[in-house]
Structure 1
Amino acid sequence: MNAQNLKRQSINPPPTQVFYDNFHFSQATRVGDMIWVSGQVGIDATMTPGKDVEEQAHLAFQGLRNVLEAAGATLADVVELMTFHTELQGDMQAFAQVKDQYFPDRYPSWTAVGISQLALPGLRLEIRAVAVAGCGNA
């Protein structure tokens, strides 16, 4: 791979530029075919958390999908998931069922971590991912 292919790109699809501007981080960073996606949370367009773990998981996975698409990838290209849960034991089964809707086969590696709180009140989970653009097509 030549140096031009290793150019670092910040990925901030609309309307996520506000996070870059206010909190100084990108929704994703792409170098070559590798994409590192920042934690996606279960909030809607008004920054309101979903009412339960299922709704928050759907919102977070939709955010993950949108960021990956802006980076030139898809959910099929995800090779690693790391999820953070404020209610790990109680939410794990429901979260896993939602996750399986977005990853019905060719499962990525996955680490789930229990934590005490997330950045916004009411959030129960956060999803970060690593993808390799184009690998899901193989």
Structure 2
Amino acid sequence: MALSRYTVKRTAQWESQLGLSHAVGANGLLFVSGVTGLESDLRDIESQSRGAFLSLSESLAEAGARLAHLVELTTYHVDLRQNMEKFIEVKAAFIQHPYPAWTALGVTELISPEALVEIRAIATLS
């Protein structure tokens, strides 16, 4: 099985630092590592959610995919219940019908101490 690896310039430092691939294509699917919305010093859930979806969109584009190609989302949330309503509002601006499968998980913390949300995704490459 041939694998294609995709790097987004703004996350290249994390790949070598953490030993990961930002996105991997295999068998017609693209697996995108978790992205956050902290690149521009964003602190509230709406800004971070918007930033995370923009980062995800950029990651997909690097491999020739779009948000409409998503088949699965996994989102990780600090303060899940407190932040879910705002997250869903932002998500609705980026993700339209037909919707991907989605699992939302509450977590104690994420890799960046300021991060409130992280999005991991699987998309089709066709």
Same fold (TM over 0.5): yes
Aligned position for 1:3: none
Is 1:111 aligned to 2:103, yes or no? yes
CA distance in 2, matches of 1:88, 1:131: 24
Aligned-pair identity in percent equals 33
Aligned position for 2:47: 55
Q: Given the two structures, how large is their TM-score scaled by the length of structure 1?
A: 0.87
CA distance in 2, matches of 1:15, 1:81: 21
CA distance in 1, matches of 2:59, 2:14: 13
CA distance in 1, matches of 2:118, 2:89: 16
Aligned position for 2:125: 133
Matches within 5 A, 1:34-113: 34-45=29-40, 48=41, 50-113=42-105
Q: Which runs of 5+ in 2 are unaligned?
A: none
CA distance in 2, matches of 1:88, 1:13: 28
Aligned position for 1:11: 6
Q: How many residues align?
A: 126
SS in 2 for 1:15: helix
Is this contact kept in 1: 2:74–2:103, CA < 8 A? yes
Aligned position for 1:25: 20
Larger Rg: 1
Q: Given the two structures, how large is their TM-score scaled by the length of structure 2?
A: 0.95
Question: Where do 4+ consecutive residues of structure 1 move more than 4 Å?
Answer: none
Q: Which runs of 5+ in 1 are unaligned?
A: 1-5
Amino acid of the structure 2 residue aligned with 1:122: E
SS in 1 for 2:118: strand
> Once the 2 structures are TM-superposed, how far is the Cα of residue 16 of structure 1 from its aligned partner?
1.6
> Once the 2 structures are TM-superposed, how far is the Cα of residue 15 of structure 1 from its aligned partner?
2.3
> Once the 2 structures are TM-superposed, how far is the Cα of residue 32 of structure 1 from its aligned partner?
3.2
